[in-house]
Structure 1
Amino acid sequence: MDRKTLTDFFEEVETTEEYNGYFCSIAEAISIVVLGILCGLKNVSQIHQWAESERVSGFLKEKFGISHIPCYYWLLVLLKMVKTDTLNQCLMRWAAQFLPEDRSQTTISLDGKTIRSTTGMKHIGSPLHIISAQICELGITLASETVSTKSNEIPAVQELLKKMDVEGCLVVADVLNCQQKTAGIIVKGKGDYLLDAKGNQPNLEREISEYVQGDTLRKGMDCERRTEKNRDRVETRTAYSTGDTAWLYGKEKWENLNCIGAIKTEFEKDGRKTEEWHYYISSRKLSAAELLQHARMEWAVETMHWLLDVHYGEDYCRIENRTIQQNLNLLRKFSISLLKQYKVRISSKRAISKIMLDCLLESSKICEVLEN
């Protein structure tokens, strides 16, 4: 992606009705929104005000060939006309190019997020719940799927996995998605899974727990321990893993189940200690160190969700239109992916919020972020 091809990139996005472009094309409207989001602007009103300013409108015309800024109402109309599925497919193709040839060290994390502001909106119906898949090592959103309610997340994740290229990757998911069918879809796609069995699979959890809690058997497992201090809390995480799975009852129901493991997390704060255990199954034979590394990447999507809420105020977006809400969610995640990729490219530790502010204060920074 670069500034010369940004508007061309969105030309393949389809609309719900015929639109000839007039003064502003659909691709230009989407580009304006993406560029405003890169600057950290939270809503369409702010993006429109920013784009209309003399400095920015001149910049958009010079660098992106956008000569006309639609009014706020028309910008909303254009966003409403965008077919969400074609926008999603467009962004999926962009993200897929970042999957490396050797994917043995590539982790894909899956999780869902409800846009809270859509709760109770009569024009939207049920709250929007959106599943996202992320390339953890790069912070790039690989794919998205919208469901009517969180209770439909399991089949939605399964459908999303069928659309994705997971070959060679390790797919990690939370307890809700520890499902035999989900594991089978991942293996069929020539990928591997790492699933948290805590709570959602009680029999599986109990059997792994009994194995790990037995001193004799645990001594034969690979073990890795790491301690971190986060502000006023000390966190110690101990992982155990083994390829000894032949004894596991119902193993044949889980496609290519080759490894079980557990992670014990101990918290110490103000002299008080607590602990929790999580139990895992995987189709890939993982060392304890690898289990620690990959299991933690489940939180990569949570970090992206945090950015959506804290930096973009997504949970406070009051637009009462389902299509616009979905399209803005996709474009916010695309913008975060661009910012994350920029950080990787220049090996920067600068906070994303500061890069957004740089883009807002100095338009040339936007071009730097977009350059390949």
Structure 2
Amino acid sequence: MSTFGTIFKVTTFGESHGLAVGCIIDNPPPGLSLTESDIQPQLNRRRPGQSAITTPRDEKDQVVIQSGTEFGKTLGTPISLVVRNEDQRPKDYGNKTMDLYPRPSHADFTYLEKYGIKASSGGGRSSARETIARVAAGAVAEKFLKESYGIEIVAFVTSVGGEELYPETEQYPCRSQNPDFTALLSRITREEVDSFLPVRCPDADANKRMEELITRLRDAENSTGGTVTCVVRNVPSGLGEPAFDKLEAIIGHAMMSIPAVKAFEIGSGFGGTKMLGSDHNDPFVAEAAAAVADPASTGGAIPRPKLRTQTNHSGGVQGGISNGQDIYFRVGFKPPATIGKDQTTATYDGSAQGVLAAKGRHDPCVVPRAVPIVEGMAALAIMDALCIQQSRFAMRGLRRE
């Protein structure tokens, strides 16, 4: 499916080397101040050609709002966002060899199996270029979340290949136990993340090691994977739908739908499997009274929680529902499948073996450019969960006692 969301719905369209990519946002909040300048900064962070360690494809990724706004305000009607593809090179992919042989670990074979036809140029809908629409829609959702609830979403690179920020140690077998890591989650900003270009790992030494690794692999015509960690702050409690649409399930769905993602963990994640229950449990303490809002006095607005937790191994979600603490999670990206090295493959009909040397322009590691994609999908997941929960409070305000 090309649609994500229940109330705040986003449908993306377009192929990697087609005329354009874009999305339709259904049920946007009316009256939100919105122009292209609100969306473009995140697209600039995602765009290719940012540095020597990203693909040299020359795309400006300029977004155009085609519908749903008037005089800089959203109308509540569907918003159409479009980005034109300017640097198309379908000839990089249209040759007899690539028509006969599927590229290893690409979607060439699986798309053909599913549809009986595939895009001849690049990855088509499976290409990471489709994520432009996710980032654009996420920027719209994020503007509302920030202005209405003070919600902040920040992602950053935490590993490239074997180079890691805050690796697990004997003292801290789980990152959620590491006070340096938890302190970073509480204060990190996008401005700080972007001060560590080109990798976007917020530590000078780790950032340098990661950049050097990516550079070596680029020169060797190879690639590597990595992880992106994301924190969502100031999230109201009560978001998430038991039992199948738990908040972590929806966020996981959003993240696992991103091209090249192969892993997802929230809170303590896999590290938490090494902890004892007595250490992993998050004790509750009373929250300051000033932070608590009565929904009846705020026109049905979602209240802030009356409790907080001393630790946050749960990652801000308990029983599939947000508890008001910071939500944080980590996303694992595989190495890009397109590399310059010769790779063995077989013809689509299985009649012969062959060798492919991939052409085209691709990243040796996707995680530096994946940061705004993770942020965008997080915004879409939280926005939709908030819309669902807000409807419950609105209905509660209509009850007659």
Normalised to the residue count of structure 2, the TM-score between the two structures is 0.28
Normalised to the residue count of structure 1, the TM-score between the two structures is 0.30
Structure with the larger helix share: 1
